[in-house]
Amino acid sequence: MATRTEKIVDTLRTHIDNSDHEGLVTAAEALIAQYERQVRQINRMVKLSDATAENLMATNQRLSALTENLSRFVPKTVVDRLMDPQERQIGYRDRRELTVFFSDIVGFTAMTEQLEPEQLSTLLGDYFSEMGRLCEKWGGTLDQFIGDAVVIFFGAPESRGSEADARNGVGMALEMQERLEVLRVKWNDMGLPTPLHVRMGIATGYATVGNFGSDRRMHYTAIGNAVNEASRIQALCTPDNVYICPITYLRVRDFYSTSARENVILRGQQQPVQLYQVNSTQRQSASDLVMGNGDGYRIFVDFDILSDKEVALSLLKRAVRQLENSTGQALNETKTSQNL
């Protein structure tokens, strides 16, 4: 069926063929009116399209802000699953093998008595932020902060395999201990002399994981013996170290060097358990951090957060030149004294 515009064009052509001047004028005016109507329609469609694009952009911005805010209250691994339109199982509970990490600050109660509330808030803010960042880096699920304790598990909602989950848990713990050395230097420079040392325990075992709570408020967490075992191993750990259970040891022994500790009977268990300490020399993040200190010097370079590499490189080169000059002068003085 011909459109209105096509009909007007056909009429116009007929009047041209018949040399009908008046009909030609009338058809031309009708064509112009039809053109103007189409222009108005197009303009309305353009405005509607612009409004739709603006609404879509505003909706995307709100969703982005919602996702960012949600990730502050819900583990990022869970948020990613919630945002996946194909995911339908996040609300279910299932039983699976997890590697559970539990850490606790040594002497935290005494520390709260020594520090002002503002100082304690700064210290804990730095500590929890760094631990949370490393949890995300290694693919863990941040379960919760319990006072000064941190609970993280690997293997849910996504698992990379039992061995990989255990390796990531141990690697994360070692890097956390390494980062704490940097934080202690920072806190000391800020006038917070109270040292912060952390015990860390890791256990691998089966647990029930999923959403627990009321019909109005849920919490994605893990419940089971592995969680309790990690907490009890942490309590037996020496400060600034990482202890692991026998099952975790079997998962990571080909990747990390460990030292056998004492056999202990964990609370709630009947048989003694062999604990293992992961040697700090196995830290995998050594390439990301250069640090050391002694009489007359203190240095650490954190490549993860280093922003101005040119300035840092210039300072390091200057320090190297001065060290080389002072070393050369010392050698010359030694040779001169020997000749005399």
Q: How far apart are CA 124 and CA 122, in angstroms?
A: 6
Q: Do 180 and 313 share a domain, yes or no?
A: no
| pTM, two decimal places | 0.67
188 in a domain, yes or no?
yes
pLDDT at site 188 = 84
Q: Which residues span the domain enclosing 17?
A: 4-65
28 in a domain, yes or no?
yes
Q: How far apart are CA 263 and CA 275, in angstroms?
A: 6
Q: Do 92 and 163 share a domain, yes or no?
A: yes
Contact status, residue 99 vs residue 248, Cβ threshold 8 Å: yes
229 in a domain, yes or no?
yes
Q: Do 38 and 182 share a domain, yes or no?
A: no
Structural domain tally of the chain?
3
286 pLDDT band, cuts 50/70/90, is very low
Q: Do 153 and 23 share a domain, yes or no?
A: no
Q: Do 307 and 240 share a domain, yes or no?
A: no
pLDDT at site 284 = 46
Which residues, including other chains, have CB under 8 Å from residue 151's CB and lie 6 or more apart?
100, 101, 102, 142, 143, 144, 145, 227, 230
70 in a domain, yes or no?
no
Lowest mean pLDDT segment, chosen from 21-35, 164-178, 324-338: 324-338
Q: Do 110 and 185 share a domain, yes or no?
A: yes
Q: Do 316 and 275 share a domain, yes or no?
A: no
User: What is the tens place of the pLDDT at every residue in 37-94?
Assistant: 887 888 888 888 777 777 777 777 777 776 666 666 666 666 666 666 665 555 578 8
103 in a domain, yes or no?
yes
Q: Do 158 and 214 share a domain, yes or no?
A: yes
pLDDT at site 304 = 65
Q: How far apart are CA 199 and CA 177, in angstroms?
A: 9
User: With 60 as the cut, is the pLDDT of residue 228 above it?
Assistant: yes
Q: Do 186 and 240 share a domain, yes or no?
A: yes
Q: Which of 8-17, 70-79, 91-100, 155-164 has the highest mean pLDDT?
A: 155-164
User: What is the tens place of the pLDDT at every residue in 311-328?
Assistant: 888 888 888 888 888 876
- In 106-148, DSSP assigns E strands to 141-146
Amino acid at 259: S
**Helix 21-73 vs helix 76-83: crossing angle, to nearest 10:** 150
Q: Do 51 and 187 share a domain, yes or no?
A: no
Question: Any idea what the CATH number is for the domain that residue 169 is in?
Answer: 3.30.70.1230
71 in a domain, yes or no?
no
Q: Do 276 and 307 share a domain, yes or no?
A: no
Based on the number of CB atoms within 10 Å of its own CB, is 94 exposed (0-12), middle (13-18) or buried (19 or more)? exposed
DSSP secondary structure of 272-304: -EEEEEEPGGG-TTGGGEEEEEETTEEEEEETT
Q: Of 18, 38, 65, at which residue does a domain stop?
A: 65
Q: Do 225 and 175 share a domain, yes or no?
A: yes
Q: For strands 198-213 and 94-105, give the pairing.
A: antiparallel
Query: What backbone phi and psi angles, to 5 degrees, belong to 60?
Result: -65, -40
